[in-house]
Structure 1
């Protein structure tokens, strides 16, 4: 009788083991899904922007090559469009991807933009994005305008196709230097300067100048990172019941 009971218990455990394993797998999947949802919803600016880029990328793929080029040129931050309607093209150019491939940007936005937005908050992250995008565009196009006037670039360069989100991305990558723990922030900064500085030295293109300018602008956004830190300290002290001086 005892032997029979032991065999019955072993058989019961054997039947329950796969069910328990499946239950653990389901719980892990649910936790991963919840973590992914929290990650995305806590960086709304990043993923709304990424969704908009997906829509515009799909739309561009449905256009004929000739129409697409004309369409993008009218939304390009080149000298001609900047002198005609600067606000419109500075905004519009940030919603189209240079090259037309969306998937790599989904990875880059998740690796760089989302952590920056989590850290800084949406408003300060957006400030860094705008400063890098607008500032680097104006710097690079300003230098290009100077080069055209002095005969270092052809007159046709005023209509250069210049769209994309890479200046904003470069600025955010740079500002994350202040998020990297010491002493790793110095190798991180060195890697950024090498990555964006080498093409500028080797090719000396105006796009490379814009990328390097965006990096410098991102580094100059250090005060925005400090404001966030002070606010967190104030919130923590208030939560602990300590009144802060006004």
Structure 2
């Protein structure tokens, strides 16, 4: 009597572990929405539309979540937020930072890049600006965006970006820090950053130019208040740009005064 060979057992595949649906025939009323959960953000004076996933927008702040829902025009059904006073390139940098925790800010064409559509300083008499100046303007636009949408995490990241740039030997960023004083309100930790950068990293030539440059009055007052008492006891030495921020930690972050965790603890890219 011959024995019939047993068929080989099929290896379990991914589909074997998937839970079978309870039923295939369902009510139309139970169908999930076919629209993605997005917010359309209109940025700049040209109102460029950015449809952005709400989960991404809620990564760092509640600003977009707290905006009222509007249902007009071709974007009906999605929340709409307008940021007319901020730049398109700053918002693009913000989206990149939300996704990766990095600022994709350096470009080969920066030397010929046009000025932004929000420019707090009048450069109308200038033919062109250097790549370093373009990067500085992008950085400041990012800081202003963070101010507008109340995202202190993004602003703290801007502070860390400035530290990285200054440590590379860049002079423009050391001067740009005092522009914080032109925004309102300005966080105490960010003011401290601007003042300590000036006190310890400005060279003698930069101090000699103080009377010829229109620095914010409050910045100059706090700079004198920082340097004055120290001159009574010791000198205020010029520090190395490469090592000055080595152990800075979070002392220049707004979250320290807001009693909130650092973005490096909450941002998905740093986990």
The one of the two structures with greater contact order (alpha-carbon pairs below 8 A, sep at least 6) is 1
Q: Does TM-score exceed 0.5, indicating one fold?
A: no
Structure with the largest fraction of strand: 2
> What's the TM-score once normalised by structure 2's chain length?
0.27
Structure with the largest fraction of helix: 1
